[in-house]
Amino acid sequence: MQTMARRTFKGGVHPADGKSLTQEAFIHRLRPTGDLVYPMQQHIGKPAKPIVAVGDRVLARQKIAEADGLMSVPIYASVSGTVKAIEPRMTVSGNRVLSVVVENDGQYEEAPKLPVLEPGTDAAWKETLLSRIAEAGIVGMGGACFPTHVKLAPKEPDQIDYVLVNGAECEPYITGDYRRMLEDPEGILEGLHIIMTLFPNAKGIIGIEDNKPEAVRELTEAAKGYADISVRSVKTKYPQGGERTLIYALTGRKINSDMLPLDARCIVCNVDTVYEIYRAVIKGRPLTKRVITVTGDAIAEPGNFLVPLGMNHREVVEAAGGFSEAPEKIISGGPMMGTAMLALDVPVEKGSSCLLCVKKDVVSTTTQTQCINCGRCVQVCPGRVLPTRLAKAARNHDEETFIKLNGMECCECGCCSYICPAKLDLTQTIKSMRKDILGRRKK
Amino acid sequence: MDSLLHVSSNPHVRDRMTTAGIMYRVALALVPAALFGVIHFGFHALLLIIVTIAACLATEFLYEKGVKRPVTVRDGSALVTGLLLALNLPPNLPVWMAIVGAVFAILVVKQLFGGLGQNFMNPALGARCFMLISFASAMTNFSYGTFDSLTGATPLAALKAGQEVNLLDMFIGNIPGTIGETSVIAILVGACFLLIKKIIDFRIPLAYLATFVVCLILFGGRGFDYQWLLAHLCGGGIMLGAFFMATDYVTSPISSKGRILFGVCLGVLTAVFRLFGGSAEGVSYAIIFCNLLVPVIDKLTIPSAFGRKKSAKAAERKRNA
């Protein structure tokens, strides 16, 4: 297997990055005043099960819902108060999800911390560590929300060559990871060091896009104390932070849609996930808040905020100076992969990395024309497929052609739709066909 | 926030480039060649350019109005077709013939097959070949100004007859030929613009010209006679064809590999037509013939996806097994 690092991948796009709006904004801690809403489904897998009842008093950092099986994680209260309701509430995705609603008493009375763990190397330590990560409710903070304790427990941990930390932050506008890297590089290094105790033969690599030289410098400096950890800058290009593209850029190894990073003997974690592991182990704190970038031309004072989970997005916007102008579109996440929100009155979740509010929705102003076969979608596709042909097959419900043209290799990064001069909804069309096929395969 | 929010599936941003933007850039890139043609050949060349473009736009407009389709005159594609066709006409062609060609290009080659994006042949070249057959003598009469019909032979024809040609004149364009094909330098200026702006893919012209030269060396019977090779590269429509017509998106392959293969086919065919064909020129026929090969080339050159060596079909079989 080749192991040459490439620093980048073939394809990709350079959308206007909008990071200058918030990249100098220190992470600002927020305290909510309104009700907190905790959806039971903030991760991939089974929803958590509430363990409190209406009328109960809860403390900040108190567990209010427990994991339901292995593919599930617990949820903690982020303030003290009274459980007001346990009912379905609308979430960022637009779905109604069973949620625990806590009336904030403004006291911030805290439950005791979890005991601080002393890193070791033996089997017992590994078990302790994995159960702590599970207990702390940690999921992939980059937005995928995959339970981290499952990801970090492969069958053969000795086989892992690399633990890769994703600090690329290739999505435009988002600067939360960047600020985290600048403001607490030691925490990230310590988190990575802790993860690496699970993988005795692994080296740690932190990959950062080269538009963040200060983060590269800070982390390189912090990494000097660790012999098996290095920091590498990768080329600034969307989707450099995608799992497949990052593995390729840092190790030269390729995985396809049927494979996991494990097949390339890699573990990939987001910077913020690594940081939360550090906090859970060394500080004894479960996951109760996250960094969110509030930005866009409709926000009066864009910035980065450390937000208690469950806080209403409307309150978060108010903390950012409110709207300078009514936004036409509000996106949870970045402009390439994010979800357009139906309403602002939904809670911040574990996967909420950004709130992007824009005055004008560019998508609604574009006019679609005929595909002229220009091949731009083919050139930018990191999956090396033929997006326009896949979209055509999808429109015709021609599954055979779709599969033959490697349709299942699409990673839904959105590059093809972004670049298309005919403004066709290529990603969207391909995505729905993939969903159909994957759904049928599961049955 | 009283009004409803916009909701759509991601991505939520789009690149600024549009189809019309591409077309107008191509048209702009053709301006140096057109300008040179007008200065070199005179007023009638200008008249032909204007009339051909106008006829193309009018045909597109009337057809789309007639069949009640959205009118796409503004997307610039009919403009490019008209301009390209005009640049492929002899400078003293009767105006009515140019109009017939323009109508044929838009109506028959483009619209009857479904309009923009659906035509399987470059409309301008399809029309040119139709005109070469229909108006054979007018389309091959390159006499102009001081060149009478006797000395009006193109350098390519002279080359074929074994005569010497002036390379510098050919490079600048001070030779007989169609309105837009004579000046290599003017064409290259426009081509560089398109390459820098990434409107066209360098693979097609590069593979085309390289293969063409290799074929000439191998089968031309003159060995590595660089003057003769350069004369072939600067003569006829190969430069205009390689950079502006072989690179037409709709009628060229979509993948990088396919584009190289397409260029190779063009090079071989052009060399064959020029060396062994009845007429001195072969670019137009080579391109429209290769246009017909595009579906086959596309099928042969489906790229292998990231992280996959085997075909998707094999992976599917494995999954089902």
Plot region of A389 (φ>0 → left; ψ -120 to 50 → alpha; else → beta): alpha
Contact (CB<8Å) A338/B12: yes
**Closest-approach residue (CA) in chain A for B306:** A383
Q: Is residue B52 included in any domain, yes or no?
A: yes
Number of alpha carbons in the 13 Å side-chain half-sphere of residue A94:
13
Question: Which of B201, B306, B316, B319 best tests the A interface by mutation, with the highest count of A CBs <10 A?
Answer: B306
Residue-level pLDDT at A4:
57
Length of chain B: 321
In a domain, B269, yes or no: yes
Report DSSP letters for B120-145, one per residue. SS-HHHHHHHHHHHHTHHHHT---BT
The domain tally of chain B equals 1
Structure tokens at A57: 């008093």
Element containing residue A295 per DSSP (H, E): strand A289-295
- How big is the CA angle at A22 (ends A19 and A26), to the nearest 5 degrees? 135
Structural domain of B137? 19-300
Amino acid type, B228: W
Report the half-sphere exposure of A190 (CA within 13 A, side-chain side): 16
In tens, the pLDDT along A95-120 reads 999 999 999 999 999 999 989 888 88
pLDDT band at A241 (very low <50, low <70, confident <90, very high): very high
Side chain identity at residue A69, one-letter code: G
Q: CA–CA separation, A303 vs A311, rounded Å?
A: 16
Q: Are residues A277 and A388 in the same domain?
A: no
A362 touches chain B (CB under 8 A): yes
**Mean of the per-residue pLDDT values of chain A:** 93
Q: Does residue B311 belong to any structural domain of this protein?
A: no
Identify whether the C-beta of residue B95 lies closer than 8 Å to the C-beta of residue B47.
yes
Which residue, A413, A411, A428, is CA-closest to A368? A428
**Between chains, do A340 and B7 touch, taking CB under 8 Å as contact?**
yes
Model pLDDT, residue B208: 97
The reply to whether residue B307 touches residue A366, judged by beta carbons under 8 angstroms, is no
Nearest to A428 by CA among A336, A360, A334: A336
- Residue B159: predicted pLDDT: 78
Interface of A with B in 27-86 (CB under 8 A): none
Domain assignment present for B62: yes
Give the pLDDT score at B321.
56
Q: Which residues of A touch B24 (CB under 8 A)?
A: none
Q: Do A405 and B302 touch (CB under 8 A)?
A: yes
Q: Is residue A311 part of a domain?
A: no
What is the least distance, in Å, from the CA of A262 to any CA of chain B?
14
SS3 content of chain A, % helix, strand, coil (to 5): 30, 20, 50
CB burial of residue A8 (10 Å; 0-12, 13-18, 19+): middle
- Given an 8 Å threshold on Cβ–Cβ distance, is B9 in contact with A337? no
Closest-CA residue of chain A to B77: A372
The minimal CB distance from A362 to the residues B14, B259, B319 is found for B14
**How many angstroms separate the Cα of B99 from the Cα of each of B59, B111, B115, B204?**
10, 16, 19, 30
pLDDT in the model for residue B158:
80
- Residue that is last in its domain, among A282, A314, A336: A282
Same domain, A135 and A246: yes
Does residue A29 form part of some domain?
no
Candidates A228, A229, A273; CA nearest to A73 is A273
Please choose, from the candidates A81, A87, A293, A375, the residue with its C-alpha nearest in 3D space to the C-alpha of residue B260: A375
Distance CA B300, CA A422 (A): 26
CB within 8 Å: B313 and A370:
no
CB contact under 8 A, A259 and B307: yes
ipTM: 0.90
Q: Is residue B43 part of a domain?
A: yes
- On chain B, the residues whose CB falls within 8 A of the CB of A374 are 22, 249
Pairing of strands A81-90, A57-58: antiparallel
Q: Do A421 and B21 touch (CB under 8 A)?
A: yes
- The pTM for the full model equals 0.92
CA distance B157 to B174: 15
A256·B201 Cβ contact <8 A: no
pLDDT at B235: 86
Nearest CA in chain B to A9: B306
Domain assignment present for residue A255? The answer is yes
Last residue of a domain, one of A282, A306, A325: A282
The per-residue pLDDT for B315 is 60
Facing residues of A295 across strands? A356
In angstroms, what CA-CA distances link B277 with B141, B219, B274, B288? Answer: 19, 13, 6, 16
A295: tokens are: 């930005």
User: Is B7 inside a domain boundary?
Assistant: no
Q: Which residues of B touch A335 (CB under 8 A)?
A: 10-13
Domain boundary among A262, A282, A302: A282
Query: What's the DSSP call for residue B304?
Result: P
Which residues of chain B are modeled with pLDDT < 50? Answer: 1, 149-150
Cβ-defined contact of B9 to A431 (cutoff 8 Å): yes
Contacts of B21 in chain A (CB under 8 A): 421
Interface test with A, best of B3, B8, B9 (most A CBs within 10 A): B9
Report DSSP letters for B220-256, one per residue: SSS-S-HHHHHHHHHSTTHHHIIIIITT-STTS-SSH
Task: Select from A93, A297, A299, A363 the residue whose CB has the most chain B CBs within 10 Å, as the one to mutate to test that interface.
Answer: A363
A135 shares its domain with A254: yes
The Cα–Cα gap between A43 and A143 comes to: 9
The residue segments making up the domain with residue A437 are 376-442
A344 CB neighbours in chain B (<8 A) are: 1, 5
Number of Cβ within a 10 Å radius of residue A288: 23
Query: Is residue A339 within 8 angstroms of chain B, CB to CB?
Result: yes
Q: Does A398 touch chain B (CB under 8 A)?
A: no
Residues in contact with B58: Cβ distance below 8 Å, sequence separation at least 6, in sequence order: none
B-chain CB neighbours of A244 within 8 Å are: 306-307
β-bridge pairing A63-66 and A49-50? antiparallel
Nearest Cα residue to A407 out of A423, A431, A378 = A431
Q: Quote the distance between the C-alpha of residue B174 and its chain's center.
A: 22
Secondary structure percentages of chain B, helix, strand, coil, to 5: 65, 0, 35
CA of A349: how far to CAs of A58, A78, A103, A235, A353, in Å? 19, 11, 17, 30, 9
Distances in Å between the alpha carbon of A181 and those of A185, A213, B278? 5, 11, 71
Question: How far apart are the CA of B112 and the nearest CA of chain A, in angstroms?
Answer: 15
Q: Does A425 touch chain B (CB under 8 A)?
A: yes
Query: Tell me, what's the pLDDT at B221?
Result: 83
A428 has a chain B CB within 8 A of its CB: yes
Q: How many CB atoms lie within 10 A of CB A146?
A: 16
Is A417 an 8 Å CB contact of chain B? yes
Residue-wise pLDDT tens digits, A131-170: 999 999 999 998 789 999 999 999 999 999 999 999 999 9
Cβ separation of B115 and A330 shorter than 8 Å?
no
Say if the Cβ atoms of B19 and A421 lie within 8 Å: yes
Tell me how far apart the terminal alpha carbons of chain A are, to the nearest angstrom.
34
DSSP code for A47: P
Rg over CA atoms, chain A: 22
Burial class (CB in 10 A: 0-12, 13-18, 19+), A400: exposed
User: Is residue A76 a part of any domain in this protein?
Assistant: no
Q: Is A255 in the same domain as A149?
A: yes
Kindly give, in sequence order, each residue whose CB lies less than 8 Å from that of residue B128, ignoring residues fewer than 6 positions away.
Answer: B85, B88, B89, B101, B139, B284
pLDDT tens profile A336-366: 999 999 999 999 999 999 999 999 999 988 9
Is the bond preceding A239 in cis, omega lying within 30 degrees of 0?
yes
- CATH code where residue B154 lies: 1.10.3430
Q: Are A150 and A268 members of one domain?
A: yes
- Nearest CA to B63 out of B118, B104, B117, B124 is that of B104
Asked whether the beta carbons of residue A386 and residue B302 sit closer than 8 angstroms, the reply is yes
Residue of chain A nearest B3, judged by CA positions: A328
Minimal Cβ distance to B14: which of A341, A407, A423: A423
Give the number of domains in chain A: 2
Question: CA torsion A75→A79→A82→A85, rounded to 10°?
Answer: -50
In a domain, A130, yes or no: yes
Q: The domain spanning residue A239 has which CATH number?
A: 3.40.50.11540
pLDDT band at A286; cut points 50, 70, 90: very high
Residue A370 lies in a domain: no
